[in-house]
Amino acid sequence: MYKIVAKQKLNHLVEKMVIHAPFVARKCMPGQFIILCVEEGDERIPLTIQDYDREKETVSIIYQIVGYSTQKLAQKEVGDTLAHFAGPLGVASVLHNSKRRVLGIGGGVGAAPLYPQIKELQAQGVSCDVILGGRDKDYVILQDEFKAVSNELFFATDDGSLGTKGFVTTVLNELLAKGRQYDEVIAIGPLPMMKAVVSVTKPLNIPTMVSMNPIMIDGTGMCGGCRVTVGGQTKFACVDGPDFDGFEVDFDEAMRRQSMYKKQEQHICNLKLGGGTNA
Amino acid sequence: MPNMRLDKVKMPEQAPDIRNKNFEEVARGYTEDMAIEEATRCLHCKQRFCVAGCPVNVPIPEFIEEVAKGDFEKAYEVITSENALPAICGRVCPQENQCEGKCIRGKKGESVAIGRLERFVADYVMNHTDITIEKAGSNGIKVAVVGAGPAGLTCAGELAKMGYEVTLFEALHEVGGVLVYGIPEFRLPKELVAKEVQKIVDLGVRIEKNVIIGKSITIDELIEEGYSAIFVGSGAGLPNFMHIEGENLNGVYSANEFLTRSNLMKAYDFPNHPTPIFVGSKVAVVGGGNVAMDAARTAKRLGADEVYIIYRRGEEELPARREEIHHAKEEGIIFKLLCNPVKIHGKEGRVSHIECVNMELGEPDASGRRRPVVQEGSEHLLDMDTVIIAIGQSPNPLIRSTTPGLDVQKWGGIIVNEETMETSKENVYAGGDVVTGAATVILAMGAGKKAAHAIHEKLKK
Ligand SMILES: Cc1cc2nc3c(=O)[nH]c(=O)nc-3n(C[C@H](O)[C@H](O)[C@H](O)COP(=O)(O)OP(=O)(O)OC[C@H]3O[C@@H](n4cnc5c(N)ncnc54)[C@H](O)[C@@H]3O)c2cc1C
Ligand SMILES: Cc1cc2nc3c(=O)[nH]c(=O)nc-3n(C[C@H](O)[C@H](O)[C@H](O)COP(=O)(O)OP(=O)(O)OC[C@H]3O[C@@H](n4cnc5c(N)ncnc54)[C@H](O)[C@@H]3O)c2cc1C
Ligand code: SF4
Ligand code: SF4
Ligand code: FES
């Protein structure tokens, strides 16, 4: 059993939890994730490790409430326990500290997995600009944390309540138009966002790493459910990723595969929780 | 005078058209009378052919004699002197190739139903007696076991009996390996696996679930933490795909994913268990082994109207246990033999058809089986909603890629000294599917036991 030692609401759909999980905390690295079951018999859901404390043997996760399992997770409070918490899984991000200028782009809850990477790069002396995007200003999470580790921080919101009105790519295009140069872009967020970023960076040949979030079960390479096509080859995101070269990823296939259980997901939400969140 | 009837006492079973709609166990097990009657068919041969056919040398005529006398507890003692998991082996061993395949009675008529008797004895004792397990006094020596499948469970249990302080690390949230995530409830009730696991816990084995060796901690780090020996029983869990067009369409599963969703995550009980599964009306399962039969029979139970087994060789070559093939046919699974998929077609990202070619059997290949060759111009399309790929599994690379000094075969299997199961790395042992490639429960158990004794030989010095 894995104890919840802290919990914080970041906005009305996004929360942070700190969990006591010694085996994960001792070894995890930026870019890796865990798989948890809220209660015995529940679905296994993957979440990125947002931060960790090796001494206290704790791991932080940030999750957006989108459906049944995340809603059930949100019902747990400090002092409660989670049935299962396995990890760290996936390969750690390859952080090219030889790169001098990096642009981080985080969409919605994608800011969470982006944060430890930018923090690490900054600590290594890399100059990082960051663009955070969200529906409105409440959905742009970790603003203060990013302020502390980025060279310049930009925002994009759908309604213009914070930063530029528009998408993260609106800001990206502006920066590039102004002549900003980057050696690498790290984009983490919803698949359509990462696809849009790559459609800007690929023609300009700015190397772009993306983080894939396919449906997973075991997270250890046992089921093959998480397969993504990268450079024409099938990869298992849980063991070969989740980070991949954005130029090579087949985003259309990934989006299609992610919607495989749409019907069942809605069904279970309506049935067991009385209406989904439509997120 | 032995009972000379030619056929085995029939096994009570759920009727095919009823059982193919539920997940309850197909074979119901012998009654006491049936078991005693079947036991009287054994000739107690001097030359114990049956025992030679059993990979762990269960004293078969001796236990059967006790069954014939009605002393089921004694029979259990005899079996468990060699086999720690009789309720499981009695159900899933490919007996026709092992003990029963060698039984003299099989020369004329059917062999003695050794598997069914073994199962009966184990079930009887489980249901009628409280087995109290005595913990051995600790010798203070720490041993780690990686993977809680039949190989790891057996090795851990044996070592605990000898007084070692055993920690069993398992990547998943449940213990049992293929017994819990692969083999379906209707063939091997999970409650029974849980009972067997409990016995191992009672022996004093500490179980750490959700720990992925190679990720959460490495083999070298275990050695640093003071484990004097390590047994790796991580199985062959990596699913093979065919690498044909359309394999990533929605509706294409590896058998591992399909079975894991249904068994481990209990998707058959959706939405009471929240993990979803998609079946549709027409399902193709590619492959002809136990895994394929399990996937096909599961798909049928989940409500598919037509389920096909598509296999590139013929009936004779089907590698599955005969009983499973027979049960699958009874349940309405359609066998398309000498047939091989070449492409999966989709509509809007979902499977719509599978394209196959017909095969002919040519010259025997290295394995001695006749090699299938494509019949020119035999391409044809079959309507499908779901395709399940069950063409084999290989060992997961997580451990070998994080353990320097561990020698492996080209295909990924860990290389061991067959006498001791020790690997190229001192004090690291391995056994089960991770060494042999996908094999059987009983062979994995045998390997776990052998390694436990070799570890003891080495550490007691
Ligand atoms: C490597 C990885 C890291 C992730 N990190 C984060 C994170 O840090 N924060 C966060 O909020 N989300 C993260 N996700 C996504 C998160 O796992 C899903 O939001 C969650 O599983 C949804 O479950 P649900 O039951 O609440 O919603 P559902 O209603 O079941 O599904 C909502 C959406 O989540 C996806 N999903 C459902 N089940 C799974 C599953 N078992 N595995 C993966 N995706 C699934 C579906 O495609 C669907 O689009 C990550 C996913 C992956 C693969
Ligand atoms: C669907 C199916 C049906 C089958 N039917 C039969 C049958 O009828 N009869 C028969 O005899 N055999 C059958 N088999 C084969 C049999 O199940 C296997 O040969 C046997 O389970 C192998 O045992 P094992 O202990 O070596 O490995 P497994 O049972 O595979 O167990 C390995 C365990 O190690 C864990 N693990 C893996 N990597 C790590 C890691 N890095 N860290 C920690 N833990 C790890 C896994 O999660 C798993 O629990 C079947 C197999 C399948 C898949
Ligand atoms: S363990 Fe398997 S092979 Fe051996 S006697 Fe029992 S059923 Fe037969
Ligand atoms: S070979 Fe058959 S008949 Fe002979 S002892 Fe073994 S089980 Fe009995
Ligand atoms: S989640 Fe099962 S192989 Fe990646």
Are A52 and A122 in the same domain? no
H or E element in which residue A111 lies: helix A111-123
Residue A17 is assigned to a structural domain of this protein: yes
Q: Is the Cβ of B397 closer than 8 Å to some Cβ of chain A?
A: yes
Q: Give the model's pLDDT for residue A276.
A: 40
* Residue B88 C-alpha, separation from nearest chain A C-alpha, in angstroms: 23
Q: Give the model's pLDDT for residue A275.
A: 45
Q: Give the model's pLDDT for residue A267.
A: 76
pTM of the model: 0.93
Structure-token pair, residue B15? 């009727």
Q: Give A182-233 pLDDT, tens digit per residue.
A: 999 999 999 999 999 999 999 999 999 999 999 999 999 999 999 999 999 9
How many other β-carbons are positioned within 10 Å of the β-carbon of residue A148? 11
Are A115 and A54 in the same domain? no
H or E element in which residue B358 lies: strand B350-364
pLDDT over 60 (residue A277): no
- CA dist A31 and A198 (Å) reads 19
Which residue matches tokens 């995101």? A237
Q: Which CATH number fits domain B142-237+394-459: 3.40.920.10, 3.50.50.60, 3.30.420.140, 3.40.50.720?
A: 3.50.50.60
Class at the top of the CATH hierarchy for domain B241-391: alpha beta
The answer to whether A219 and A44 have CB atoms below 8 angstroms apart is yes
Are A199 and A81 in the same domain? no
Are A108 and A9 in the same domain? no
The answer to whether B354 and B345 have CB atoms below 8 angstroms apart is yes
- CA dist A199 and B385 (Å) reads 33
Are A144 and A200 in the same domain? yes
- Our answer on whether the CB atom of A238 is closer than 6 Å to any ligand 5 atom is yes
Q: Which CATH superfamily is domain B16-128 in?
A: Alpha-helical ferredoxin (1.10.1060.10)
pLDDT over 90 (residue A30): no
Are A214 and A164 in the same domain? yes
Structure-token pair, residue B334? 């359609």
In CATH terms, are B16-128 and B142-237+394-459 the same topology?
no
- CA dist B278 and A188 (Å) reads 29
Listed by start position, the domains of chain B span 16-128, 142-237+394-459, 241-391
Among A89, A116, A143, the domain-final residue is A89
Alpha-helical (H) ranges within A155-261 are: 168-177, 191-201, 237-240, 251-258
Pairing of strands B282-286, B306-311: parallel
Among A40, A58, A89, the domain-final residue is A89
Residue A279 is assigned to a structural domain of this protein: no
Are A63 and A174 in the same domain? no
pLDDT over 50 (residue A279): no
pLDDT over 80 (residue A269): no
Binding site members of A for [2Fe-2S] cluster: 223, 226, 238
Q: Give B52-80 pLDDT, tens digit per residue.
A: 999 999 999 999 999 999 999 999 999 99
Q: State the CATH number of the domain containing residue A44.
A: 2.40.30.10
Residue A124 is assigned to a structural domain of this protein: yes
One-letter identity of residue A154: F
- Helix axis angle, B150-161 relative to B441-459, nearest 10°? 30
Alpha-helical (H) ranges within B40-149 are: 49-53, 60-69, 72-80, 86-92, 99-102, 114-128
Number of domain units in chain A: 2
Are A175 and A80 in the same domain? no
Residue A238 is assigned to a structural domain of this protein: yes
Are A190 and A72 in the same domain? no
Residue A73 is assigned to a structural domain of this protein: yes
Closest-CA residue of A relative to B247 is A234
Task: Give residues 163 to 202 of B whose Cβ lies within 8 Å of A.
Answer: 171-173, 181
- By residue count, chain A amounts to 279
Torsion angles phi and psi, residue B187, rounded to 5? -110, -30
Q: Do A221 and B211 touch (CB under 8 A)?
A: no
Q: Do A223 and B241 touch (CB under 8 A)?
A: no
Are A79 and A122 in the same domain? no
Domain span including residue A154:
101-258
B278: which chain A residues are within 8 Å (Cβ-Cβ)? 260-261, 264
With a cut of 0.85, is the ipTM above it? yes
| Stretch A42-51: mean pLDDT | 94
Q: Do B270 and A271 touch (CB under 8 A)?
A: no
- Report, as ranges of residue numbers, the positions in chain B whose pLDDT lies below 50: none
- CA dist B310 and B320 (Å) reads 13
CA-only gyration radius of chain B, Å: 23
The answer to whether B13 and B19 have CB atoms below 8 angstroms apart is yes
Are A77 and A153 in the same domain? no
- Our answer on whether the CB atom of B177 is closer than 6 Å to any ligand 2 atom is yes
Q: Give A59-97 pLDDT, tens digit per residue.
A: 999 999 988 999 999 999 999 999 999 999 999 887 766
Q: Do B253 and A225 touch (CB under 8 A)?
A: yes
Are A14 and A145 in the same domain? no
